[in-house]
Amino acid sequence: MESRLSSRVRNITPSATVSMDAKTKAYMREGQPVINMSVGEPDFDTPVAVAFAGMQAIADGYTRYTPAAGSLDLRRAVARKLMTENQLSYAPEQIVLSSGAKHSLYYVFLCLCDPGDEVIFPAPYWVSYPEQIRLAGAVPVIVSCDERTGFKMTPDQLEAAITPKTKAVLLNSPSNPTGAVYSEEELRALGEVLLRHDVYLVTDEIYERLVYGVEHKSLPALVPELLSRSIVVNGFSKAFAMTGWRLGYVAAPPDIAKALTSLQSHASGSPSTISQHAALVAFDSFDPAMVHEFERRRDTLVAGLDALPGITCVLPDGAFYAFPNVSGLFGKTFHGSGPHSGKVLETADEVCEALLESEWVSTVPGGAFGSPQNIRLSYAVSYEEVEEALERIGRFVKSLK
């Protein structure tokens, strides 16, 4: 037997963010003073009303299966939310709840894609997009973007990437890892391109509430002609600090929603009943103070990074990540402590490793996001940790000669 594993899983690249978080937590268990800026998880507690709703669900015996697409009450609530907040008209029957937005996205690609189909998305991108697309048998078509366009795909780039094999275009706004937010004008321009081609639009809006001085817009609301082939993915993890509750949702055309439900019924059944009951009160429990605190941390972190020699950082408009370009550090020799001392740093991976092992600041190299010149830092840590991290990064940069 040549291999005990299928080619499908042999070719998967492990999630860099999950891997770095695991490595970081191992150091923390050893007692090392690590500041963990690698993980995309709010450091706030789940709102009290949401937590109590979950506990009440358990006490009231809501611990059995719901329908595969999720409870009708929550699907109705999601449909109301999409109409009132996003100006998107979806019936409850077009909503499918899953165990997290990551889960939702994977099912979407499985339902849409046949082998050889192409899915277009811009880089930098969330680490799981290409792997999920490949697992569905499709081909990731990556459009490279950088600081010159604010890490956003232009209409000309999108037009050039579309081929007869294109099945879908995937957008993530606000973006992980860059925090880029497409403006209304930019979205309309992309929509005009999509109107000329018979392809699906998948829009990942998980960070929609975490924006700073700008407004989140959903492309199919701006170009309603696209609604019949638009799939909106969202969830409760980021805005409501419910990462461990594992609950996301898809809003899709009726035939796709039906296919998603059928697939989920065989693959995982329904999402957690307890989480669904808790989520019923989440939409009324959002705390804008979380956004203000993230913005305060963002401003301090980006200004501090941008002031360091060899580092430049675009101010993100959303999410809770900074994505500095560290290519100005490449070719310099690290003279700090740890196993990398005396080593010439040639890549963002080596920068991240040396920074972690010398100053105990955990970040993620940008190659995992399709941008090898950058690194990602999450400011979903306390303000005091942001300040301390900047001091440590400053010492690290100073040690490079």
Q: pLDDT digits over 150-189, tens only?
A: 999 999 999 999 999 999 999 999 999 999 999 999 999 9
For the four alpha carbons of 257, 258, 263 and 265, in that order, the dihedral sign comes to positive
**Cα torsion angle, 249, 252, 257, 259, sign:** negative
pLDDT of residue 388: 98
- Chain-wide mean pLDDT for the chain? 96
**Would you state the pLDDT for residue 337?**
74
Is the confidence at residue 75, as pLDDT, over 70?
A: yes
Q: What is the pLDDT of residue 2?
A: 63
Structure confidence at residue 109 (pLDDT): 98
Fold of 48-284: Aspartate Aminotransferase; domain 2 (3.40.640)
Closest-CA residue to 44 (of 355, 393, 382): 382
Per-residue pLDDT at 255: 98
Q: Give pLDDT, residue 26.
A: 87
The whole-angstrom distance between residue 113's C-alpha and the CA centroid of its chain comes to: 21
In a 10 Å sphere around its CB, with 0-12 CB exposed, 13-18 middle and 19+ buried, how is residue 61 labelled? exposed
Domain with CATH 3.40.640.10 in the chain: 48-284
Q: Which residue has the tokens 């275009």?
A: 169
Class of domain 7-32+287-398: alpha beta
What is the model's pLDDT at position 196? 98
| Residue 385 banded pLDDT, cuts 50, 70, 90 | very high
Given this model, what pLDDT does residue 339 score? Answer: 79
Mind listing the pLDDT tens digit for each residue in 94-131? 999 999 999 999 999 999 999 999 999 999 999 999 99
DSSP 124: S
Nearest Cα to 376, choosing from 345, 344, 336, 349?
Answer: 349
Predicted local distance difference test score (pLDDT) of residue 347: 96
20 pLDDT more than 90: no
Beta strands in 272-359 (DSSP E): 321-322, 332-333, 344-345
pTM of the predicted model as reported, rounded to 2 decimal places: 0.95
Predicted local confidence at residue 252, as pLDDT: 98
* Alpha carbon separation from 1 to 5, 10, 78, 119, 347 (Å, rounded): 10, 15, 49, 34, 38
Give the whole-angstrom CA distance, residue 196 versus residue 150.
Answer: 25
Residue 366 has pLDDT above 80, yes or no: yes
The pLDDT assigned to 272 comes to 98
Looking at the chain, which residues constitute the CATH 3.90.1150.10 domain(s)?
Answer: 7-32+287-398
Each residue's pLDDT tens digit, 304-324: 999 999 999 999 999 999 999
Taking the CA atoms of residue 77, residue 78, residue 79 and residue 83 in that order, the dihedral angle to the nearest 10 degrees is 100
pLDDT for residue 1 is more than 60: no
- Residue 359 pLDDT greater than 80, yes or no: yes
- The single-letter DSSP state of residue 324 is -
